[in-house]
Chain A
Amino acid sequence: MTARNHRRLWTPAIAVLAGSAIAVAVGISQSWISALISELVALGWAVSLYVIGGKDTDIGAAVGAQGDERQELVKLRAARLCLAVVVVAVVAGCLIAAAAKHAIWPFQAGAVLIGVSYFYGLWFYGTGREEADRAAREHEDGEGF
């Protein structure tokens, strides 16, 4: 199996791992029948992702983690859209939970994680990596003397 095919396995593997974790949580909190159904859904989703990842399309390249520069850009734009939807969903979920007098901390925790990772990303992909590289170079130069 080539490295290209290995990369195609990443997304389905993550789907199986996440799906299995959810299935275990469902099994512990609800019933093991529900957990089995949850696991089967996750496996079906993973198989679909593997099949889609092998297609010669932009979606196939994104799912199969083997895109070129334009497909990476397409993936980035799709991720941006996805993030916007997640932010709206978190805010809506928080409002609905608050109105229904349910716990809102999971939504707050999600919002904090989204905010922190966004600003970390701005710093890291903006100047953070350059600063780290410069610091490493200066450190190496200092050792040379």
Chain B
Amino acid sequence: MRNRVREQRVGQGMSQAEFAAVLGVSRQTVISIENGRYSPSLPLAFRIARVFVMPVEELFDSEGEGR
């Protein structure tokens, strides 16, 4: 799943470690989400969206996912 997490995080001047601490996940998980290798659960996706104060659908793009 493509997303704009890296773009938003860098825009807010946060390191991956800081962002991981805010979300309560590991740095490896932040890396995996940013690379699109891992699609977060709904609660985590909403937590990420709340950090960036934007709707979850603007942050994550399901295009290309199997339907």
A interface with B by C-beta (< 8 Å): 56-58, 61, 67-71, 73
Whether B27 lies near A69 (C-beta < 8 A) is no
Whether B32 lies near A70 (C-beta < 8 A) is yes
A140–chain B nearest beta-carbon distance, Å:
27
- Interface: B26 (CB within 8 A): yes
Contact with A along B15-28 (1 / 0, CB 8 A): 00000000011111
**What would be 29 A-B contacts, judged by CB atoms less than 8 Å apart?**
A56-B26, A56-B27, A56-B28, A57-B28, A58-B26, A58-B28, A61-B26, A67-B26, A68-B24, A68-B25, A68-B26, A68-B29, A69-B25, A69-B29, A69-B40, A69-B41, A69-B44, A70-B25, A70-B26, A70-B28, A70-B29, A70-B32, A70-B33, A70-B38, A70-B40, A71-B26, A71-B28, A71-B29, A73-B38
Closest B-chain residue to A67, C-beta based?
B26
B interface with A by C-beta (< 8 Å): 24-29, 32-33, 38, 40-41, 44
Q: Top 7 A-B pairs ranked by shortest CB distance?
A: A68-B25, A70-B29, A70-B38, A68-B29, A68-B26, A69-B41, A58-B28
A18–chain B nearest beta-carbon distance, Å:
28
Q: Which B residues are CB-close (under 8 A) to A69?
A: 25, 29, 40-41, 44
B17–chain A nearest beta-carbon distance, Å:
9
Q: How far is the CA of A57 from the CA of B26 in the complex (A)?
A: 8
